[in-house]
């Protein structure tokens, strides 16, 4: 019986202002599920900041566990005729809401 399933430690690259996780494979397989991957190119490194170009996203895995890239960035889709989305910025991210005020996730 293991006492710890993982380890949290400060990242040196960010001068300990961010954290890294190291999880045991068994724990990760039993307790985590894939949600999203983002593919980016780091253009420039500055003190406490990076200039990044986002290249691709994925929200699904292949049956063998490989990442299924979309070939594009995420985008919001209006599903209903004459639909409308209202965008606000919260904590540095865009939040989209439909006419009923429900949050709409990008696809």
Same domain, 92 and 68: no
Show pLDDT as tens, one digit a residue, over the chain (107 residues): 678 999 999 887 666 678 899 999 999 999 999 999 999 999 998 887 889 999 999 999 999 999 999 999 999 999 889 999 999 999 989 999 999 999 999 99
- pLDDT (0 to 100) of residue 24: 94
Element (H, E) at 26: helix 25-31
Same domain, 67 and 39: yes
Same domain, 69 and 85: no
Same domain, 27 and 38: no
pTM: predicted TM-score of the whole model, two decimal places: 0.69
- pLDDT (0 to 100) of residue 23: 95
Same domain, 28 and 39: no
Domain carrying residue 4: 1-32
- pLDDT (0 to 100) of residue 16: 66
- Number of independent structural domains in the chain: 3
Same domain, 3 and 23: yes
């Amino acid at each position: 019986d293991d006492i710890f399933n993982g380890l949290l430690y400060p990242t040196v690259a960010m001068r300990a202002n961010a954290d890294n996780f190291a999880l045991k494979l068994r724990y990760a397989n039993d307790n985590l599920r894939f949600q999203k991957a983002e593919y980016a190119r780091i253009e420039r490194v500055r003190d406490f900041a990076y200039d990044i170009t986002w290249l691709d996203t994925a929200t699904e895995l292949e049956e063998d566990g490989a990442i299924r890239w979309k070939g594009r960035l995420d985008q919001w889709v209006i599903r209903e005729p004459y639909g409308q989305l209202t965008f606000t910025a919260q904590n540095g991210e865009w939040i989209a809401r439909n006419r009923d005020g429900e949050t709409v996730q990008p696809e």
